[in-house]
């Protein structure tokens, strides 16, 4: 895999696609700097070699040019994190930008305006990509969050950098982490899938059945399996039209020798509310009027045993409605188990929007091996797809 480490950036201009799509508050302050911090190692490598950086990103979903979505809002945050005063230009292509790039000296950073102010970015327009390509000697893709999109700055631009394109350190680490789980993994390998819907993760399940020894199915999606097996799930969330699919997964898993672990008990509630009445119930015996909102104590114990035996773990999706304190216990217990297993030498990868949020909220981010920065991109890789942004560098 070709990365920034394979290049000497002395007197070179690195055109880096970063993912600075960060959350802003109503006064346009950055409320979570994780993505900026994640891009820092790549930027520092270029600067330390004696090169300069041209950073390009999107921010939000603007319709045309809109000050609300200007990347100028993040100049101070980026400057503070990298310890270099970042220059900004209020466009991302054209003469004015090319001039600013020409005047950029070694050790300097230029941040371009939001790429999505141009519709051409998302359309993957070749002319727009060619204009972007004029802004650097070497193209670096370090934006995992958009690597599954064939946009101008993430994919199309790479064709103008034959022999001068590479992965940034973050993207390289993301790819390596997923490889460590899916192909170069140490056995036993356990995948834990939770969250609300089977339908959104079916392709992931199908792809990973060939790669894992254990599959823990938790959270809301487990009820589709339980109902399909004849259990009484009361008012628990369920995708009735996916029951057959659930049975097929169980059958396929059996054929492939993959052990599937479903919850055996639940924390059930008489309302979808933090203040609801709560009971621990057998997973197959939830009466009408009650719904399972978290993994029960026996399930947590079973999941803990599986996790503690594992040498490789992939976790995507919470085990309950962790946003409510009353139903966060199962997700926290799982985070504890994974942290403990990681301490004993297991490789653990957490990915996908809500599990990442849970891991951060409950303080497990530093206790697992790797927390992925890309939700959709991560899911597509787990589905076995080759992402266009990654392919464009490898070509």
The residues that are catalytic are: 35, 197, 353, 376
The per-residue b/e assignment along 230-262, b for 16 or more CB within 10 angstroms, e otherwise, is ebbbbbbbbbeebbebbeebbeebeeeebebbb
Going residue by residue from 352 to 381, which x/- string records binding to ligand AMP, judged by CB under 6 A? Answer: --x---------------------------
Q: Which two tokens stand for residue 198?
A: 């089977």
Q: What distance in Å separates the CA atoms of residue 2 and residue 6, rounded to the nearest whole number?
A: 6
Q: Assess contact for 269 and 293: CB atoms under 8 A.
A: yes
Q: What distance in Å separates the CA atoms of residue 394 and residue 77, rounded to the nearest whole number?
A: 32
Least distance (Å) between residue 318 CB and ligand AMP: 5
Least distance (Å) between residue 292 CB and ligand AMP: 5
How buried is 60 (Cβ within 10 angstroms: 0-12 exposed, 13-18 middle, 19+ buried)? middle
Q: Is 317 in the site for ligand AMP (CB under 6 A)?
A: yes
- Of all residues in the chain, what percent are helix, strand and coil, respectively (each to 5)? 45, 15, 40
Q: Is 293 in the site for ligand AMP (CB under 6 A)?
A: yes
Q: Is 49 in the site for ligand AMP (CB under 6 A)?
A: no
Least distance (Å) between residue 115 CB and ligand AMP: 27
Segment holding 295, helix H or strand E: strand 291-295
User: Closer to ligand AMP at the Cβ: 168 or 320?
Assistant: 320
User: Closer to ligand AMP at the Cβ: 128 or 315?
Assistant: 315
User: Closer to ligand AMP at the Cβ: 270 or 323?
Assistant: 323
Q: Is 335 in the site for ligand AMP (CB under 6 A)?
A: no
- Looking at residue 204, what DSSP letter applies? H
Residues 159-198 that bind ligand AMP (CB under 6 A): 194-197
How many residues at the interface with ligand AMP, by CB under 6 A? 16
CA 49 to the chain's CA centroid: 29
Q: Assess contact for 254 and 236: CB atoms under 8 A.
A: no
Query: What number of other Cβ atoms are within 10 A of residue 270's Cβ?
Result: 15
Q: Is 265 in the site for ligand AMP (CB under 6 A)?
A: no
Which one of residues 171, 204, 246, 321 is an interface residue with ligand AMP (CB under 6 A)? Answer: 321
Q: Is 270 in the site for ligand AMP (CB under 6 A)?
A: no
Which one of residues 124, 168, 219, 389 is an interface residue with ligand AMP (CB under 6 A)? Answer: 219
Which one of residues 51, 136, 263, 292 is an interface residue with ligand AMP (CB under 6 A)? Answer: 292
Footprint of ligand AMP on this chain (CB under 6 A)?
194-197, 200, 219-220, 237, 292-293, 317-318, 320-321, 323, 354
């Amino acid at each position: 895999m070709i990365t920034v480490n394979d290049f000497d950036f002395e007197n070179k201009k690195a055109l880096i696609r970063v993912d600075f799509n960060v959350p802003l508050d109503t006064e346009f302050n950055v409320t979570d700097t994780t993505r900026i911090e994640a891009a820092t190692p790549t930027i520092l490598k270029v600067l330390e070699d004696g090169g300069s950086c041209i950073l390009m990103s999107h921010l939000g979903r603007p319709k045309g040019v809109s000050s609300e979505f200007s990347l100028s809002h993040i100049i101070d945050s980026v400057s503070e994190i990298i310890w270099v005063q970042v220059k900004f230009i209020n466009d991302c292509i054209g003469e004015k930008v090319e001039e600013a790039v020409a005047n950029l000296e070694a050790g300097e950073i230029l941040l371009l305006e939001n790429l999505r102010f141009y519709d051409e970015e998302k359309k993957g327009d070749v002319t727009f990509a060619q204009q972007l390509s004029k802004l650097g000697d070497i193209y670096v893709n370090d934006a995992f969050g958009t690597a599954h999109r064939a946009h101008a700055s993430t994919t199309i631009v790479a064709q103008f950098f034959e022999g001068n394109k590479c992965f940034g350190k973050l993207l390289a680490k993301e790819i390596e982490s997923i490889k460590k789980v899916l192909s170069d993994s140490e056995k036993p390998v356990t995948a834990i899938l939770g969250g609300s819907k089977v339908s959104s993760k079916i392709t992931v399940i199908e792809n990973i059945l060939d790669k894992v020894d254990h599959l823990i199915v938790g959270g809301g999606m487990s009820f589709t399996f339980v109902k399909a097996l004849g259990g009484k799930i009361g008012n628990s969330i369920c995708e009735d039209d996916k029951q057959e699919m659930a049975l097929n997964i169980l059958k396929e898993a059996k054929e492939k020798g993959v052990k599937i672990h479903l919850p055996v008990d639940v924390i059930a509630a008489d309302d979808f509310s933090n203040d609801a009445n709560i009971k621990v119930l057998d997973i197959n015996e939830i009466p009408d009027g009650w719904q399972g909102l978290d993994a029960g104590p026996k399930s947590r114990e079973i999941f803990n045993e599986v996790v503690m035996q594992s040498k490789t773990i992939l976790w995507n999706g919470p085990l309950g409605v962790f946003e409510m304190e009353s139903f966060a216990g199962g997700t926290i217990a799982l985070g504890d188990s994974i942290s403990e297993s990681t301490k004993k030498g297991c490789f653990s990868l957490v990915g996908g929007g809500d599990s990442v949020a849970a891991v951060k909220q409950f303080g497990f981010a530093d206790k697992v091996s790797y927390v992925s920065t890309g939700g959709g991109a991560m899911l597509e890789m787990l589905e076995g797809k080759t992402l266009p942004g990654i392919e464009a560098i490898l070509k």
